[in-house]
Amino acid sequence: MWKKGELEEGPGAVSPAAQPSSRQTAPTGGRREPATIGPSITIKGEVSGDEDLMIQGKVDGTVTLHQHNVTIGQEGRVKADVAGKIVVVEGEVEGDLRGAEQVVLRRSARVKGNISAPRVSLEDGARFRGGIDMNEAGAKASAPAVFPADHSSRGREAKASGGTVDAPKGEASKA
Amino acid sequence: MRPTADESPTLEVYHSPGLEAALRVVRAGGGDRVLDLGPAVSANLEFLSSSARHLRVADLLSDHQERDEADAAGRGLLVDPAWGPFDLVLAWDVLSYLEPEGAAEVVASITEACSPGACLFALVTITKEATDRSVVFVVRDGTTLEYRPAPARQRHLRSAKPAAVQRLLAPFRVERSFVLRNGFQEYVAVLE
């Protein structure tokens, strides 16, 4: 289950750490802009590195920055599997997204592929088709039960008010 | 009430006995693999991922718009069996936007992607007047749904009688159905 704190932030909310990494702390303690693949750049092959990355261009291949954040900007067009600590998508991705901490799909995101991360945040308006797998640690921490018990009192109230008619065994009652 | 073509769509919240029953079935079976045929909705994702170990969002109707091989009737819209097996399929009102033959193809492909005992939750409009205004269903909790207009998704919503729905869903067996005042009928069916 999503951790309580995340739910309180609301759908699409992103922790400060998940914001596009324009002000990440460099190993030396100073501020450091993420490396950027600009809109006019096309890369075919493997992208890896040891700093945060903003993609505004086109990438075909793989993007692997396990210890750092990857942001696919609104102009980014990626056909690649992307792995990072936090992966934020504002543009288009065709490929699998793997976030060690979180995957965030912004309103403008268009993603076709699978997502694997302990936490996934999706802003309304984002387009996504694919599978979502919570990793083992995240799932265990957040989902102690399979589809936790519902609120039976709510159901009674609704039935008492005549809002629904229950017709068991497939035979619908007349409303 | 669900908006007609002439009314402004509004957000509506209602108690969903069908969703409640479907979750109960899945819970009893210990299932945790969910297929959502609707579009990706953040609230649904949050609710489902809280308990589902594996969740797949198929967004079939967007597929319908984008894929050349999917014709106007909805033929060619398929769920890949390799995505499964699933324990719960949330069809929402997706099948109501398809011609019967397209809907039957979708159900057949869902069947292949599910294990026996899997549960299917579907909504069908029961109002006589058709509407071209489609909605998106949003899970508030395990017993409450809301539906919002989907302005970018103008589609013709077809009504269907219970017998036709039961034939369509076979080999899923309709365990329960619920007629709602808002113009929908909810179905909970289990794969035999």
pLDDT at B116: 93
Question: Does the residue A22 lie in any domain?
Answer: no
CB-CB neighbors (< 8 A) of B14 in chain A: 158, 163
Cα separation, A166 vs B100, whole angstroms: 26
- Distance from B70 to chain A by nearest Cα, in Å? 16
- Under the banding of pLDDT at 50, 70 and 90, the label for residue B68 is low
- Under the banding of pLDDT at 50, 70 and 90, the label for residue B29 is confident
Flag whether pLDDT at A95 surpasses 90. Answer: yes
pLDDT, one tens digit per residue, over B107-152 is 999 999 999 999 999 999 887 665 666 788 999 988 999 988 775 5
User: Which residue reads 């809109």 in tokens?
Assistant: A39
Flag whether pLDDT at B34 surpasses 70. Answer: yes
pLDDT at B27: 87
CB-CB neighbors (< 8 A) of B52 in chain A: 147
Flag whether pLDDT at A159 surpasses 80. Answer: no
SS3 per-residue string spanning chain B:
CCCCCCCCCCCEEEECHHHHHHHHHHHHHCCCEEEECCCCCHHHHHHHHCCCCEEEECCHHHHHHHCCCCCCCCCCCCCCHHHCCEEEEEEECHHHHCCHHHHHHHHHHHHHCEEEEEEEEEEEECCCCCEEEEEEEEEEECCEEEEEEEEEEEEEECECCHHHHHHHHCCEEEEEEEEECCCEEEEEEEEC
Instruction: Tokens for A25, please give them.
Output: 């702390």
Asked if B159 contacts B125 with a C-beta cutoff of 8 angstroms, the reply is yes
Question: Does the residue A71 lie in any domain?
Answer: yes
Searching chain B, which residue's CA lies closest to the CA of residue A7? B46
Flag whether pLDDT at A112 surpasses 60. Answer: yes
Count of CA atoms in the C-beta half-sphere (13 A) of A63: 37
Mean pLDDT over A142-153 rounds to 46
Question: Which of B51, B56, B178 is the closest to A1 by Cβ?
Answer: B51
**Whether A171 and B31 lie within 8 Å, measured CB to CB:** no
**Does the model's ipTM exceed the 0.95 cut?**
no
B26 close to A (CB below 8 A):
yes
Q: Which range, A86-95, A111-120, B65-74, has the best average confidence (pLDDT)? A: A86-95
Query: Who has greater pLDDT, B80 or A106?
Result: A106
Q: Provide the domain count of chain A.
A: 1
Flag whether pLDDT at B84 surpasses 50. Answer: yes
- Distance from B178 to chain A by nearest Cα, in Å? 5
Question: Does the residue A62 lie in any domain?
Answer: yes
| A91-105, A110-124, B22-36, B56-70: segment of lowest average pLDDT | B56-70
Mean pLDDT over B79-106 rounds to 89
What integer best gives the mean pLDDT of chain A?
72
Cα separation, B147 vs B139, whole angstroms: 9
pLDDT, one tens digit per residue, over A40-73 is 999 999 999 999 999 999 999 999 998 999 999 9
pLDDT at A99: 95
Flag whether pLDDT at B53 surpasses 60. Answer: yes
pLDDT at B137: 92
Mean pLDDT over B172-176 rounds to 95
Domain that holds residue A114: 37-166
Q: Edge-to-edge, what's the strand order for the sheet holding B144-157?
A: B12-15, B144-157, B131-141
Q: Provide the domain count of chain B.
A: 1
pLDDT at A107: 93
Q: Which residues pair with A98 in a beta bridge?
A: A83, A116
**Whether B53 and A139 lie within 8 Å, measured CB to CB:** yes
Which B residues in the span 28-87 are in contact with A, Cβ-Cβ below 8 Å? 30-32, 39-43, 45-46, 49-59, 62-63, 83
State the CATH number of the domain containing residue B141.
3.40.50.150
Asked if A32 contacts A51 with a C-beta cutoff of 8 angstroms, the reply is yes
pLDDT at A110: 95
Flag whether pLDDT at B184 surpasses 60. Answer: yes
What integer best gives the mean pLDDT of chain B?
84
Cα separation, A165 vs A167, whole angstroms: 6
Domain that holds residue B184: 5-191
Flag whether pLDDT at B71 surpasses 90. Answer: no
